[in-house]
Amino acid sequence: MFLQQLVNSIVIGSVYALTAMGATLVYGILRVLDIANAGAYAVGAYIGMAIYALTGNLFVSLIATLIISGAIGICLEKFIYLRLLDKPSIVPLITSIGVFIFIEDLLRLLNGPYAKRFPAKLPFSGIQLSSVSIPATWILVMVVTAVLLFILWYILYHTRIGLAWRATAQDMETAKAMGVNINLVVALNFLLGYGFAAVAGSLIGIMYNSISPTMGDTPAYKMLAIIVLGGLGNPVGTVLAALIIGLVETFLGGYIGFFLPRDAIAFVALIIMLLIRPKGLFASNNA
Amino acid sequence: MYGIVVAINVGIFAILALSVNIITGYAGQPNLGQASFFGIGAYTTAILAGKYGVGFLPSLIISGFIAGIVGLLLGLASLRVRDDFLAITTIGFNFVVVAIFQYVPFFGASMGLSIPPLKLFGYPVGYVGLFIIILLLMLLVILFTKRMERSWIGIALVSIRNNEEAAESLGIDTRKFKVISFGIGTLIAGFAGSVYAYYMGFIMSYNFQFMTSITILSMAVVGGLGTIAGPIIGAIVLGLAPEIFRFVSDYRLLIYGAILILMMSFQPQGLVGDGSIFANIVRKLRPKTSGVDQ
């Protein structure tokens, strides 16, 4: 039972990590709280399902989801966010809420308000150990998340563009003065940020075999709690915070029993943590 | 009948937009959880009037003060966390409050709470009477905000918003004024919640969700933060938008989202804020009485 819960929480935590990574990257560079990123999560689920229905190939559909949603993210960045950076932070925040409402309603208009199925056939089967069962979809979630996070880590810490990303995250003006191609960094940021959230949406759709226009609602705010716990804009902190929230939710909710619903736990943890460590659990020194 | 219901709704949201304007507009503290104080006011009234038969005025006042006290506590939290952290803390606060309303049996849990019809001096008060009460309350809030704008509190608040370090170096205790602004803004939201409870007759946690907080803040931002006319105009524009666009009712949320994006992209200071198209027209139309022009 304990082991089973542990596996549950790791699966949930890894989806949270992938979902929150988009908003973390956007915040890291632009200092914008990007609620619209949860829109990419829902969009990703629909794109993933459509392409899977078309091609029947899960791998192709996940890659295409990442690229198409990433392209949507780049458009948002170019046409909306970049113009708002010098405004008070409430302006881009309200804008991103507007974008989120717009995307959600567009999905509802195009696909109808009801949940749809996302039945994916996986090329491997689940694992059944004595007391722990791991369905195939869970393995898919964990493997895809691990691969994507590894790619992100490699880009950020072992490539020139990653170096440029880290420089820009520390100080955009100085980075620009040093000849860093800011436009490229920001574009890559949105490509990965929106792409990752979209893949997370697809994975959740496959895992629960259900997608709906409002599926981004819960991630929209829970992701905020996670990126704050992780120290706002700190990718490594975000992964740790996501795993911790996954653990706390599963064990408080499923094991001990808690008077509040599962989805409120992240915020109770957040408020307690902020009062003790106002800069986040894993705040980087320059934050 | 239909008109008055719309008017009551717009009136309540105008008061709420004015209330969040004190916190976000004047003191510059992001608050995305104003609906929770609206809810605390409404639930206090529902419990007082519904369970204990307390009359209108005591219910209204107690509701306001309870919301205000909780607001002061959140204001204290705002001393520890700033800007984006505070924005997310207020979102989190909203979710926790709604979760408590929804899961604790004392607050009716998922069944909600009902409120007896409003009576004043033994006579039932209809929609028109309720609307008059809302207008009076709104007038009080406007007068109060005007006074506050001109008093030392207002000056201190605006200086916090513009440059906190400079304000501190001039000897203004920014901590005190931030907490005060939270207390006042949430107190007003509590009043609005009390009236709302009487108007609805039945409330559920659903009415006070995060989305409601967004609606309230959007109204203040779209109208123009830091002004008195702005939040009221914002409440009228965004409050009437769903009614005006009823003929395309299926696209209402889509239009709402688009309005927010377009407004923020082209008029981020709001409809009547400094330097907006509307403010410029008013300035040009106004005859020049003094030689000084900003």
Place of tokens 């001109």: B150
Q: What is the pTM of this model?
A: 0.87
In a domain, A241, yes or no: no
How many domains, in total, are found in chain A?
1
In a domain, A220, yes or no: no
Do the Cβ atoms of A268 and B96 come within 8 Å? Answer: yes
Do the Cβ atoms of A95 and B265 come within 8 Å? Answer: yes
| Beta carbons within 10 angstroms of residue A145's beta carbon | 26
A75 at interface of B, judged by CB pairs closer than 8 A: no
Do the Cβ atoms of B257 and A221 come within 8 Å? Answer: no
Mean pLDDT of B6-27: 93
User: Considering only CB atoms, which chain A residues are within 8 Å of B85?
Assistant: 228, 232, 274, 278-280
- A149: Cβ–Cβ under 8 A, 6 or more apart, which residues? A17, A18, A21, A239
**Residue B291: per-residue pLDDT:** 47
In a domain, A267, yes or no: no
Bridge partners of A128, per DSSP, are A133
B85, B87, B268: residue with CB nearest A278: B85
B248 at interface of A, judged by CB pairs closer than 8 A: no
**Residue A285: per-residue pLDDT:** 47
- pLDDT tens sequence across A76-107: 999 988 888 888 888 888 899 999 999 999 99
Mean pLDDT of B11-27: 93
In a domain, A173, yes or no: yes
- pLDDT tens sequence across A43-58: 999 999 999 999 988 8
In a domain, A248, yes or no: no
Distance from C-alpha of A174 to C-alpha of A253, rounded to nearest angstrom? 46
Distance from C-alpha of A128 to C-alpha of A105, rounded to nearest angstrom? 41
| % of chain B with per-residue pLDDT over 70 | 97
Burial letters B42-77, b for 16+ CB under 10 A, else e: bbbbbbbbbeeebebeebbebbbbbbbebbbebbeb
DSSP letter at B48?
A: I
Mean pLDDT of A223-237: 84
Do the Cβ atoms of B96 and A264 come within 8 Å? Answer: yes
| Residue A236 contacts residue A58 (beta carbons within 8 Å) | no
Distance from C-alpha of B205 to C-alpha of A165, rounded to nearest angstrom? 43
Element (H, E) at B114: strand B113-114
**Residue B294: per-residue pLDDT:** 43
DSSP symbols for B68-87 = HHHHHHHHHHHHHS-HHHHH
Q: Is A128 helix (H, G, I), strand (E, B) or coil?
A: strand
pLDDT at A284 over 80: no
Mean pLDDT of A264-270: 80
- Number of inter-chain CB pairs under 8 A, A vs B: 127
Least confident of A26-40, A257-271, B83-97, B259-273: A257-271
In a domain, A192, yes or no: yes
Distance from C-alpha of B17 to C-alpha of B232, rounded to nearest angstrom? 7
Q: A259 pLDDT band (50/70/90 cuts)?
A: low
**Residue B212: per-residue pLDDT:** 92
Burial letters B153-186, b for 16+ CB under 10 A, else e: bbebbbbbbeebeebeeeebebeebbbbbbbbbb
What is the CATH number assigned to the segment(s) B2-285?
Answer: 1.10.3470
Handedness of CA B76, B77, B79, B84 (dihedral sign): negative
Give backbone dihedrals phi and psi of B242, rounded to 5 degrees, phi first: -60, -30
pLDDT at B164 over 80: no
- Residue of B264, B266, B267, B276 for testing the chain A interface, max A β-carbons within 10 Å: B264
Least confident of A36-50, A92-106, A136-150, B247-261: B247-261
- pLDDT tens sequence across B105-132: 888 877 888 888 888 887 888 888 899 9
Mean pLDDT of A163-175: 88
In a domain, A33, yes or no: yes
CA distance A133 to chain B (A): 32
DSSP letter at B116?
A: P
For residue A155, what are the domain limits?
Answer: 10-115+122-215
